[in-house]
Amino acid sequence: MSDLVIYSSANGVAVLTVNNPPVNALSPGVPEGILDGLQKAAQDPSVGAVVLIGGGRSFIAGADIKEFGKITSGEKKRGVGLAPLLAALEDSPKPVVAAIHGQAFGGGLEVAMACAYRVAIDAANVGQPEVKLGIIPGAGGTQRLPRLVGVEKAVAMCQFGDPVKVPAAHALGLIDAVLEGGLLEGAIAFAQGIAGKPVRRVRDRNEKLGTAAENAAIFAAARDAAAKRQRALMAPLAAIQAVEAATTLPFEDGIKEEGRLFQECLFSSQSKAMIHVFFGERTVAKIPDVPKETAVFPIRSAAIIGAGTMGGGIAMNYANAGIPVVLKETSQAALDKGVATIRKNYANSVAKGRFSQETMDRRMALITPTLSYDGFADADIIVEAVFEGMALKKEIFAEVDAIAKSDCILASNTSTLSIDEIASATKRPHMVIGHHFFSPANVMRLLEIVRGKSTSKEVIATSMALAKTLGKIGVLVGNCRGFVGNRMFGPYRREAQFLVEEGADIEAVDRVMYDFGMAMGPLQVGDLAGLDVGWRIRKEFRHLEVPGVRKPLLEDRLCEMGRYGQKTLGGWYAYDENRRPKRDPMVEELIVKVREQAGITPRAISEDEIRDRLLYALVNEGARILEEGMALRSVDIDIIYLNGYGFPPHRGGPMFHADITGIGKVYERIQEFHQQHGPLWTPAPLIERLAREGRTFAGFPYQESTHA
């Protein structure tokens, strides 16, 4: 028997313990190990029942996701899957009890549902999260789950993939008993109680499958929800279809239909992208020269300077994580305004039922407004979020350097300024780092962690761990203008303007990117973030502009007209009081005028050109960032775009999208744009090189990012 499943038996019960850390995925050898154990138990006359349990932190977290990439790349053939194991569990002469702690996810829950009974501890979670990987349950989940929990709940679980806590799963009939005390002891006692008694297999229980009329309404509502909330995703629709098959076909035929749909999803580019994202989110935590063992500073208290848009949101993050925070402003009016905004945001969440008034009160109590540096001397971290200006930031860093304790981290939320120059205002540049939150800071999941040339490894390790504590995904980036996300966003938004100047319709530019899957088109994003933000930055950096190189004209002109976007109810679009956009004839007139002044004859621009120019503007800059080492791996860039810029997960991120399109093809298109539009489209040397060598971004420079 393999080490992956350990067999033991006592008092009439055989115990099979899955031993495949860290999460007991069903890697090759695990199903075989369970099968061996079942056979051994069948042959042992002293055994009347079997307990299947996970060692370590979970029951079974699902199929081994790494295996999927091997199958789709052709490295490995898809075998019989879990079918023989499920059949053996279901038909075992000695009833099998699944004993669940941690997670029973995906294939793990499917294994549990093939067992005679499922018992669990209160704190465990069960679920079919496959859709989050762009696939559907492939081992009978869509057929057995509705037989246990009913059609409506099964559809929801398979369509959205969210975990269900054990008490709720028990109420639904998915878990037979919730055990208090030791799981193993309880499961053994349960197994002794059912040994020798007849078992009703889940596949034979049809009483919860509903009537055709009831089900028609459930499936219609599910498809409607998919259209609204899961735009362009194929797996949720496939999951709905598979559960529907459970209600219309005999069990074995339903299994076949599920298998067909699973296969279709597995080989789609969507699932490759989403699996890339799954591993990517974990890869970004790995920093080659900052090992896991690096010491971290405990962060028990924080101080924030500036209670504006960002400072207030950042303070909420700390309070939400239970970390007390001092929030400093320059005037009572600004402080009151900042605190009132925080209060309003929390109150909205309470009104929407996200958390209780008591939680809100506790969080508010953790935030101490101040106009002085009182309380700063004890802070473990100080985060600066004042106006974007180097002189002001340096002044503030010099001030806090004088009062902060020596092991206090000094972080700046700057979005464009050099962390090294900011750090030069202090006597502790090793303790200085960028914490670039995204707006709204209490909502957006991304945190770019900007490494200065002197930032210590401990400060980096602490920042990465802190990101997790704050519920963010931290991505380490280098100290260059705009860091990674905004540096790429510049060319993207520049091209959006150029396209309009050259003849594209504003709505067409936004629609093409929305249809590609972006949360919003590039011009709408400008209106949302405020066109004045970029305008101010352009004015500050005007001295860096190269004469003769084309500049976008329209947003400066819109700003000169006082059209800053949604906040002034007008930017690219006009907005009503509910911030609904509509075309504005004034903007159309402006465009005509700007074209005339610039001597541009408008032309018809295809959707392909709009999409390629916008996407490859991102990719070309991303390639430079990668080559300069400002991002550690291409997947880091992808994770930034998914979590900070509304890039659709089923496209995997801009760099993955380029890989899957083919770097050769991307390079050709960039060369075309270079010929047509000049030096702004000079191909990044890395793209030229990868195209020549037939390689991908994912393979550069570390191999471990090529999971999918």
Cα separation, 304 vs 318, in Å, equals 10
Cα separation, 142 vs 159, in Å, equals 10
Pair of tokens at residue 621: 């800059």
Three-class SS of residue 525?
A: helix
Cα separation, 348 vs 527, in Å, equals 23
Among ligand NAI, ligand 3HC, none, the one that 522 touches (CB under a kind-dependent 5 to 8 A) is: none
User: Is 130 a binder of ligand 3HC (CB under 6 A)?
Assistant: yes
Cα separation, 179 vs 187, in Å, equals 8
Pair of tokens at residue 61: 């977290």
Interface pick for ligand 3HC out of 15, 89, 139, 302 (rule CB under 6 A): 139
- Quote the distance between the C-alpha of residue 483 and its chain's center: 20
**Residue 35 or 335 with smaller CB distance to ligand NAI:** 335
Cα separation, 444 vs 436, in Å, equals 11
Residue 651 C-beta: closest distance to ligand 3HC, Å? 19
Interface pick for ligand 3HC out of 90, 110, 384, 636 (rule CB under 6 A): 110
Cα separation, 524 vs 506, in Å, equals 9
Interface pick for ligand NAI out of 25, 51, 284, 386 (rule CB under 6 A): 386
Cα separation, 176 vs 112, in Å, equals 11
**Residue 129 or 236 with smaller CB distance to ligand 3HC:** 129
By CB under 6 A, which span of 17-25, 29-37, 344-352, 487-495 interacts with ligand 3HC?
17-25
User: Is 305 a binder of ligand NAI (CB under 6 A)?
Assistant: yes
Residue 398 C-beta: closest distance to ligand NAI, Å? 12
By CB under 6 A, which span of 54-62, 202-210, 392-400, 675-683 interacts with ligand 3HC?
54-62
User: Is 66 a binder of ligand 3HC (CB under 6 A)?
Assistant: yes
Q: Which of 75, 90, 110, 609 is catalytic?
A: 110
Among ligand NAI, ligand 3HC, none, the one that 62 touches (CB under a kind-dependent 5 to 8 A) is: ligand 3HC
Among ligand NAI, ligand 3HC, none, the one that 570 touches (CB under a kind-dependent 5 to 8 A) is: none
Query: Which of 147, 252, 277 lies closest to 209 in space, CA to CA?
Result: 147
Pair of tokens at residue 658: 């380029």
Q: How far is CA 275 from CA 108, 270, 641, in A?
A: 18, 9, 16
Quick note: the x/- pattern for ligand NAI over 399-428, rule CB under 6 A, is --------------xxx-------------
Cα separation, 705 vs 449, in Å, equals 19
Among ligand 3HC, ligand NAI, none, the one that 246 touches (CB under a kind-dependent 5 to 8 A) is: none
Cβ contact 305:384 at 8 Å: yes
What's the first-to-final CA gap in the chain, in angstroms?
Answer: 30
Pair of tokens at residue 552: 């976008």
User: Is 105 a binder of ligand 3HC (CB under 6 A)?
Assistant: yes
Q: Which of 90, 130, 501, 609 is catalytic?
A: 130
Among ligand NAI, ligand 3HC, none, the one that 504 touches (CB under a kind-dependent 5 to 8 A) is: none
Residue 388 C-beta: closest distance to ligand NAI, Å? 4
Among ligand 3HC, ligand NAI, none, the one that 236 touches (CB under a kind-dependent 5 to 8 A) is: none
Query: Which of 294, 283, 291, 239 lies closest to 261 in space, CA to CA?
Result: 239
Cα separation, 675 vs 669, in Å, equals 10
Name the strand (E) or helix (H) holding 575.
strand 574-575
Among ligand 3HC, ligand NAI, none, the one that 599 touches (CB under a kind-dependent 5 to 8 A) is: none
Pair of tokens at residue 131: 């859709």
Residue 412: φ, ψ to 5°: -115, 140
Three-class SS of residue 210?
A: coil
Q: Which of residues 631-690 bind ligand NAI (CB under 6 A)?
A: none
Three-class SS of residue 440?
A: coil
Cβ contact 245:253 at 8 Å: yes
Residue 60 C-beta: closest distance to ligand 3HC, Å? 9
* Residue 521, phi-psi category: left (phi > 0), alpha (psi -120 to 50), beta (remainder): beta
Among ligand NAI, ligand 3HC, none, the one that 23 touches (CB under a kind-dependent 5 to 8 A) is: ligand 3HC
Among ligand 3HC, ligand NAI, none, the one that 469 touches (CB under a kind-dependent 5 to 8 A) is: none
Pair of tokens at residue 699: 């393979």
Among ligand NAI, ligand 3HC, none, the one that 301 touches (CB under a kind-dependent 5 to 8 A) is: none
User: Is 137 a binder of ligand 3HC (CB under 6 A)?
Assistant: yes
**Residue 62 or 526 with smaller CB distance to ligand 3HC:** 62
User: Is 329 a binder of ligand NAI (CB under 6 A)?
Assistant: yes
User: Is 202 a binder of ligand 3HC (CB under 6 A)?
Assistant: no
User: Is 154 a binder of ligand NAI (CB under 6 A)?
Assistant: no
Residue 416 C-beta: closest distance to ligand NAI, Å? 6
Give rounded-to-5 percent helix, strand, coil for the chain.
55, 15, 35
User: Is 107 a binder of ligand 3HC (CB under 6 A)?
Assistant: yes
Cα-trace Rg, the chain = 28
Cα separation, 283 vs 213, in Å, equals 47
User: Is 59 a binder of ligand 3HC (CB under 6 A)?
Assistant: no
User: Is 22 a binder of ligand 3HC (CB under 6 A)?
Assistant: yes
Cα separation, 312 vs 565, in Å, equals 22
Cβ contact 591:501 at 8 Å: yes
Could you say which DSSP state residue 564 is in?
Answer: -
Interface pick for ligand NAI out of 32, 44, 67, 388 (rule CB under 6 A): 388
Cα separation, 99 vs 179, in Å, equals 9
- Quote the distance between the C-alpha of residue 501 and its chain's center: 34
Residue 110 C-beta: closest distance to ligand 3HC, Å? 6
Q: Which of residues 355-394 bind ligand 3HC (CB under 6 A)?
A: none
Render 266-303 in DSSP notation, one character per residue. HTSHHHHHHHHHHHHHHHTT-BTTB-TT--------EE
Interface pick for ligand 3HC out of 25, 116, 310, 339 (rule CB under 6 A): 25
Interface pick for ligand 3HC out of 13, 52, 64, 307 (rule CB under 6 A): 64
Residues 6 or more apart in contact with residue 328 via CB below 8 angstroms: 303, 304, 305, 306, 307, 335, 370, 371, 372, 373, 376
Is residue 130 part of the annotated active site? The answer reads: yes
Among ligand NAI, ligand 3HC, none, the one that 309 touches (CB under a kind-dependent 5 to 8 A) is: ligand NAI
Number of residues that bind ligand NAI (CB under 6 A): 24
Cβ contact 26:205 at 8 Å: no
Pair of tokens at residue 573: 């679009």
Residue 120 C-beta: closest distance to ligand 3HC, Å? 15
* Amino acid symbol at 692: R
Residue 28 C-beta: closest distance to ligand 3HC, Å? 12
Q: Which of residues 268-287 bind ligand 3HC (CB under 6 A)?
A: 282
**Residue 536 or 674 with smaller CB distance to ligand NAI:** 536
Number of residues that bind ligand 3HC (CB under 6 A): 23
Residue 590 C-beta: closest distance to ligand 3HC, Å? 49
Among ligand NAI, ligand 3HC, none, the one that 380 touches (CB under a kind-dependent 5 to 8 A) is: none
Question: Which residues make up the interface to ligand NAI (CB under 6 A)?
Answer: 305-311, 328-330, 334, 385-388, 396, 413-415, 436-439, 529
Q: Catalytic amino acids?
A: 110, 130
Question: Which residues make up the interface to ligand 3HC (CB under 6 A)?
Answer: 22-23, 25, 58, 61-66, 103, 105-107, 110, 129-130, 133, 137-139, 141, 282
